[in-house]
Structure 1
Amino acid sequence: MGLIDYAWALSLQKDDTKVKIIEDLTIDQPLLKADDLGFTIKLATPKFLEDGSVNFMGYDFDNNIAGKVRIGRLFRASIFHLSTHTLLPFSDQKNFLKKSDSNVEAFVKSLITDTYVNAYLQAKCPSSLIDTAYANAFAFQKIKLPSRI
């Protein structure tokens, strides 16, 4: 099973007319973009480094079973999270986040939608929360110091 097939197997959005899932070798983080038909989920791909390790989503992992398990958790969390965004009752409001929003407005809107996503996952796919918690732990490692916020 390839990366895209695995992503579709995990995706909570099963309607391929509302979302496209593609690989993008140029990005480090998965992206969700609104388009004319619905949404496109762009997936980051693992990159093999010269020292034999694997870089995925900006993190380096050993190229062994434990490293592959960690990469799998991050990958699954990103698919669960982004595909759930496409199911939100207000997902048809593609301009929910506007370029004109201040940083605070954008942060609040993002916080609201992510809270809804997590509540949806908890209700519909509780097993996904293990991968989500793991991914959040990685993200918190890169959070800015309070003095820089």
Structure 2
Amino acid sequence: MNFFDFAWSTTLQMTKKTPNELKILLHDDLRYPYLGKDSRGYVLHLIKPKKLDKENVSFQGLRFNFHNQLHKKIIWYLFKSSVYHLSMHSLLSDFSSYSKWARRKQLSLSTFVVSLLEDVIINKHLGSSFPWAIAEIAYANAITYLRMKSVEELPNNASRVMASALTKYNVGKVKGTLKDELLTDVKAITSILEKKLRKTPH
């Protein structure tokens, strides 16, 4: 696996941008990938495995045996999914357009809502323009779901609703048991997202 070459070739293919318009950085000390910005444009901060010993690596906060084929597949699919996801955000997302709406709102909640809405847009685009990526993204979503805490373990209702809306939208289920009134909120949120997905143009 050549993570850097894959990231560059795939990002340029999906975005049609030139190497001068964006930057890709690989880190072995991050827990999650993220999209940043510098004076030139977007910066994709991706995660590469960190060697622990002759057999084991650390990746996204998890320990893997690099000689185990299933472990290698999980690493590779998680990495590829993050490349697809951040590439689409760098192409389609304009987070500044939400700045007026987000004023005087709770930062964590407004950030979550914006992220979910933008994910709807990029998922629609991925499905229509890059259908070959969907299976790997679904695999990565399933792994992410397994890693998440049950909703009962989360500290407050806001966290429970946000986590549940995310998993309900991405994998179709809530992890754990949610109170009826919170589950109603989650179903309402995912219903809105699904309607937006149907209305969003290709």
With normalisation by structure 2, the TM-score equals: 0.64
Matched, 1:39 2:42: yes
Higher relative contact order (CA 8 A, sep 6+): 1
The match for 1:68 is 72
Select the structure that is richer in helix: 2
Q: Please report how far the alpha carbon of residue 40 of structure 1 lies from its aligned counterpart in structure 2 after TM superposition.
A: 0.2
Counterpart secondary structure, 2:131: coil
- Amino acid of the residue matched to residue 58 of structure 1? G
Counterpart secondary structure, 1:37: coil
1:120-142 deviation line (CA, Å, top 9, x unaligned) = 11111111111111111121123
Determine the C-alpha separation between the residues in 1 that align with 2:9 and 2:109: 35
- Cα root mean square deviation, aligned: 2.4
Q: How does 1:126-145 map to 2 (within 5 A)?
A: 126-145=131-150
CA 1:85–1:63 in structure 2 vs 1: closer, same or farther (change >3 Å)? Answer: same
* Bigger Cα displacement from structure 2, 13-22 vs 76-85: 13-22
Matched, 1:146 2:148: no
Contact kept, 8 Å, 1:13 with 1:83, in 2: the verdict is yes
CA 1:101–1:54 in structure 2 vs 1: closer, same or farther (change >3 Å)? Answer: farther
Structure 1: stretches of 5+ with no match in the other structure? none
Q: Please report how far the alpha carbon of residue 17 of structure 1 lies from its aligned counterpart in structure 2 after TM superposition.
A: 2.8
Match 2:91 to one of 87, 92, 95: 87
Contact kept, 8 Å, 1:33 with 1:40, in 2: the verdict is yes
The match for 1:4 is 4
Match 2:118 to one of 107, 113, 120: 113
1:10-59 deviation line (CA, Å, top 9, x unaligned) = 21224223321111233122121122222101121101224722221122
1:97-139 deviation line (CA, Å, top 9, x unaligned) = 6696522221111110011111111111111111111111121
With normalisation by structure 1, the TM-score equals: 0.84
Matched, 1:22 2:47: no
Larger Rg: 2
Counterpart secondary structure, 1:86: helix
CA 1:67–1:143 in structure 2 vs 1: closer, same or farther (change >3 Å)? Answer: closer
